[in-house]
Structure 1
């Protein structure tokens, strides 16, 4: 008997506005994601993919339908309960890094642990382990201005995994990076998925980045237009682009 999905959307709709200004961003979508999957979410602007990610990340709620996380009806939770779910189970990676400019890499990574109420010693230990996992041991005291774009995104990923989440939601994680850094970041996300069992949900416009995922879900006009397995996912950076973590020139 197969395990129940980690995440499930059941006939989810999302409406913004009313009357003449009404917009149906999602139109009854259903989606099931198993623990340990790596899913690329694709589609043009206005297709509904960002709305779906906001719902999956507990940043928004559906107008109709159900969102189940480990069997719990998220749409029925209070705002505070959804916030606790985010802090405990979800990690976020954004296109713009979203690091505090005058704060060290270590302190940036500790931030979600601080919000969670962890002690100072717990925060230091978890942040150091997360930075080591993304190849930035020795860079703890550097501020974002002292790091390259690829290194800043590694700090952002370390921040996302410091809480040991079940799911990482990555929104265009390579959108601000050049080709080499993009493939390095994708190799890192792949390793977190493959070696640590973290479920990865990634929004991307780029087919070569989506090629790392084992499944691609395409949104169009508020519907899921296509949901396909990738029989031959990319297993690492292309030859000539691989580089030792943390070795980038600032």
Structure 2
């Protein structure tokens, strides 16, 4: 028996507000994402891409339709169950690095495990492994002010990886970086994807989206088109 898709959206709608003030952000989104894919989501402001990502991240719920994650209908879960799914299977990376300013890179990466109540030794070991994965183990004791923008985003990615998520959700991960640092981060995400992590990324930059295996274009609350990224695999080392 074949494994079900990692993520399935079927007829997903989302309405904000009521009555005359109601706004339909999603109008019946259908999307399937397989385990191990690297998906870039694009579209103009108001197209529905951010609303869809919030639903995929279990940060919001659809008004109607079916959202399956690993075969489980997520919209039928209660708030605590969705929170557990989010903590267990999802890692988040944001445009703003959201690092604690007076805290070392290692301690920033430890935070999700601290919230889980893990012992200090377990936290330290997992955080060092995550920093090593993004190439920043030598900078473990540095604070964000002592790191470049690209290094800060690597710390943020390590923090998202430290819990061992199935899916990495990245919201404009290169939005605050120059071109060189942006390419560095995209190659890192491509490397992580090749190591087995499913990556879902929102971006406005087509040249960054091309690093993904799949590019999904949103418009007016629907999936307008799907294409393949032309640079997929560009993170490979020579």
TM-score interval, normalised by the smaller of the two chains: over 0.9
Other-structure match for 1:168: 168
Other-structure match for 1:247: none
Q: Retained in 2: the 8 A contact 1:9–1:29?
A: yes
Other-structure match for 2:229: 230
Of residues 58-67 and 222-231 in structure 1, the stretch that sits farther from structure 2 once superposed is 222-231
Q: Secondary structure at the match of 2:61?
A: coil
Aligned equivalents of 1:130, 1:179: Cα separation in 2: 24
Deviation of 1:231 after TM superposition, in Å, equals: 5.7
Deviation of 1:117 after TM superposition, in Å, equals: 2.4
Other-structure match for 1:26: 26
Aligned equivalents of 1:234, 1:20: Cα separation in 2: 48
Other-structure match for 1:200: 199
Q: Retained in 2: the 8 A contact 1:112–1:163?
A: yes
Q: How many residues align?
A: 237
Going from structure 1 to structure 2, the CA distance change for 1:147 and 1:231 (only over 3 Å counts) comes to closer
Query: TM-score w.r.t. structure 2 length?
Result: 0.96
Q: Retained in 2: the 8 A contact 1:87–1:116?
A: no
Deviation of 1:3 after TM superposition, in Å, equals: 2.7
Q: Retained in 2: the 8 A contact 1:9–1:32?
A: yes
Runs of 4 or more consecutive aligned structure 1 residues displaced over 4 Å after TM superposition:
none
Deviations 1:75-102 (Å, cap 9, x if unpaired)?
1111111111111100000000111111
Deviation of 1:227 after TM superposition, in Å, equals: 1.5
Deviation of 1:146 after TM superposition, in Å, equals: 1.1
Other-structure match for 1:218: 217
Structure 2 gap segments, 5+ residues each: none
Q: Retained in 2: the 8 A contact 1:211–1:234?
A: no
Other-structure match for 1:104: 104
Structure 1 gap segments, 5+ residues each: 243-250
Other-structure match for 2:75: 75
Other-structure match for 1:52: 52
Aligned equivalents of 2:229, 2:161: Cα separation in 1: 25
Deviations 1:210-244 (Å, cap 9, x if unpaired)?
1101101000010100022336525139xxxx9xx
Aligned equivalents of 1:116, 1:87: Cα separation in 2: 9
Other-structure match for 1:10: 10
Q: RMSD between aligned alpha carbons?
A: 1.4
Q: Secondary structure at the match of 2:157?
A: helix
Q: Secondary structure at the match of 2:15?
A: strand
Please state if 1:191 is matched with 2:191.
yes
Aligned equivalents of 1:78, 1:162: Cα separation in 2: 26
Q: Retained in 2: the 8 A contact 1:217–1:228?
A: yes
Deviation of 1:142 after TM superposition, in Å, equals: 1.0
Alignment of 1:36-47 (within 5 A): 36-47=36-47
Aligned equivalents of 2:88, 2:164: Cα separation in 1: 8
